[in-house]
Amino acid sequence: MPLNLKSFRRLLPWLPPAIFLGLFFFLPLGRILSLGLDLSALSNSQRFLVRAFSVLQFTAYQAVLSTGLTLVIGLPLAYLFAHFNFPLKSFFRALTAIPFMLPTVVVAAGFTALLGPRGWLNLALISAFGLDKPPLVFQGTLWAVLAAHVFYNATIVIRIVGNAWSGMDVRLVDAARSLGASPFRTLWKVSLPLLRPAILAAGLLVFLFDFTSYGVILLLGGPRFATLEVEIYIQALQMLNLPAASLLSVIQLLCTLGFSLIYARYITRVTTATRPRAAWQNSRVPRGTSQWIFVTTMLICLVILFALPLLALPLRSVSRLEADRAAAIGSPPALTLDYYNELFINRRSSLFYVPPFQAARNSLSYAAVTVCLSLLLGFPAASALARPGRLEKWLDPILMLPLGASSVTLGLGYILTFNRSLFPGQPNLLTSPLLIPLAHTTIALPFVIRSLQTALMQIPERYREAAAVLGASHWRTWRYVEWPIISRAVVSAGAFAFTISLGEFGAASLLARPEYPTLPTAIYRFLSQPGGLNYGQAMAMATILMLVCGFGIFLIERLRLPGTGEF
């Protein structure tokens, strides 16, 4: 076979994802860079640079605080899951994983339902002490941001550090204790030095997510707290200052790229080289009163942190808000399904009103298109990566670059790039509802490729060779040998893309047109408006979104193949 034909066949699987990422990732990114680096486009560059530095300072400040608090809470929980067996351990471990994949609007709605002005805790305090206004001020405070970040990212510490801790050679700890070291000294001198790479890797990943936080800040923090992501949104949509938004995006991209490179360096060191042991060898039933007190305390903290916000949301969606006044005199809130019924009703008969049910249909349609595009584009790339050569080793990190770009930055790039037609005679893509699933596909594609790649790499080559020897064509080999092995991974990858698209808020908040809202943007709109009816509908929509995303998370965890890793 001629060399050029071999090269073409090797490059062929890369053409679909390369063309897609070139048009819908690198081209928008290039537009941001070209406009953001042009300081002459800023009307008042010196004043804005001072503002940008202030926003960058607060972004880093809240990320450091959130990361520190997440480590303080996550490390004891990592120790709990790594060293103790207790009833419902698998359930509690799964409970910690659910928040990480929930949409930000659902998390914000959950904390609002629990601690907001109409939240359960404020209602309980009003009822208990006869108050005329909510005593707890949660929304619009830094504590709201920190609590949501810990809720989101504690599972990162639990998984990364807990896995490293459970595989550590326990004989090192036993040797230190036999030499007279106290438990604290053993932890400080033996365990923590061995866990340092895992702790640094988890801390860097948590910091990266907190640094690029958007929905949590916008929904819970309020206008007083603006991170780079929120400021990009404000400058682009509220101030209509695209050069300023582009400059902020460049700053955000450079910071994110730096943190990602540092994280990639440390994540490869999380496995200790001290004769690691199987996790079950280090896990035991608690012994003695002190250990049972520790386990019980950690489980109570886990329920308060993870379960209460998740439970408060559906309960609030079926509680009549008019009962808030009755609750002040001790009457229980009345249960109702009115807020779910209102999702289908246009009370004002406005021609411009889009019912929340239509937003749910839009989100489901966008998610379905995202799944199809992600699988069609991801499968060829994953097939090539499953048998990597020199070319694949170079192209692999390029495919993962969308992981380092925020969805808000991507949405801004789409606004700058697709506000005019790419080809003569073609319509403006910015006015098309197809732009949202294209953005969602860009975000989901790296996850889909990784899921499929791992499954394809686990197919022994001798299976294909045996099928070829028996006379099977490439199609029959794929249909009867490869597909039964990778089908679970395909469903898992599709569920990943579906869940990401359904709950994505950053890009959709910039790109969603008023007549084609998504479910997260509709929830944000209702949460931003006053009135008990708007609040109730927001709770109902957030509950539906949580349940659908929860089902997707269940599929992913159920169908995840061994060796796919945690993060």
> 331: which DSSP letter?
P
Nearest CA-CA partner of 375 in 9, 17, 88, 32: 17
Cβ atoms of residues 171 and 250 within 8 Å: no
Q: How confident is the model at residue 1 (pLDDT cuts 50, 70, 90)?
A: very low
Question: Is pLDDT at 448 greater than 60 in this prediction?
Answer: yes
Instruction: Report percent pLDDT > 70 for the chain.
Output: 84
- Phi and psi for 335 in degrees, rounded to 5? -85, 140
CB-hemisphere CA count at 13 Å for 516?
18
Residues 227-249 have a mean pLDDT of: 81
Task: Quote the pLDDT of residue 437.
Answer: 93
In a 3-state reduction of DSSP, which class is residue 336?
A: coil
Nearest CA-CA partner of 489 in 562, 384, 416, 396: 562
Residues 396-405 have a mean pLDDT of: 76
Task: Quote the pLDDT of residue 323.
Answer: 43
> How far, in Å, CA of 567 to CA of 547, rounded?
23
Task: Quote the pLDDT of residue 374.
Answer: 92
- Angle, alpha carbons 105-106-107 (nearest 5°): 90
Q: How confident is the model at residue 282 (pLDDT cuts 50, 70, 90)?
A: low
Higher confidence at residue 415 or residue 488?
415
Task: Quote the pLDDT of residue 216.
Answer: 84
How high is the mean pLDDT of the chain?
79
To the question of pTM greater than 0.85 for the whole model, the response is no
Cβ atoms of residues 71 and 206 within 8 Å: yes
Q: Which of 70-79, 260-269, 448-457 has the highest mean pLDDT?
A: 70-79
Higher confidence at residue 151 or residue 564?
151
Q: How confident is the model at residue 535 (pLDDT cuts 50, 70, 90)?
A: confident
Question: Is pLDDT at 446 greater than 50 in this prediction?
Answer: yes
Question: What are 171's two structure tokens?
Answer: 């004989």
Task: Quote the pLDDT of residue 266.
Answer: 59
Task: Quote the pLDDT of residue 39.
Answer: 66
Q: How confident is the model at residue 332 (pLDDT cuts 50, 70, 90)?
A: low
Q: Which domains does the chain have, with CATH numbers?
A: 63-336 (1.10.3720.10), 342-567 (1.10.3720.10)
Q: How confident is the model at residue 273 (pLDDT cuts 50, 70, 90)?
A: very low
Lowest mean pLDDT segment, chosen from 15-24, 186-195, 349-358, 433-442: 349-358
Residues 64-89 have a mean pLDDT of: 90
Cβ atoms of residues 550 and 100 within 8 Å: no
Question: Is pLDDT at 43 greater than 50 in this prediction?
Answer: yes
Lowest mean pLDDT segment, chosen from 43-47, 316-320, 444-448, 489-493: 43-47
Cβ atoms of residues 139 and 222 within 8 Å: yes
Question: Is pLDDT at 365 greater than 50 in this prediction?
Answer: yes
Question: Is pLDDT at 350 greater than 70 in this prediction?
Answer: no
Residue pLDDT, tens place only, 516-530: 888 888 888 888 777
Lowest mean pLDDT segment, chosen from 59-63, 117-121, 354-358: 354-358
Q: Which residues contact 529 (CB under 8 A, 6 or more apart)?
A: none
Instruction: Report percent pLDDT > 90 for the chain.
Output: 9
Question: Is pLDDT at 500 greater than 70 in this prediction?
Answer: yes
Higher confidence at residue 275 or residue 82?
82
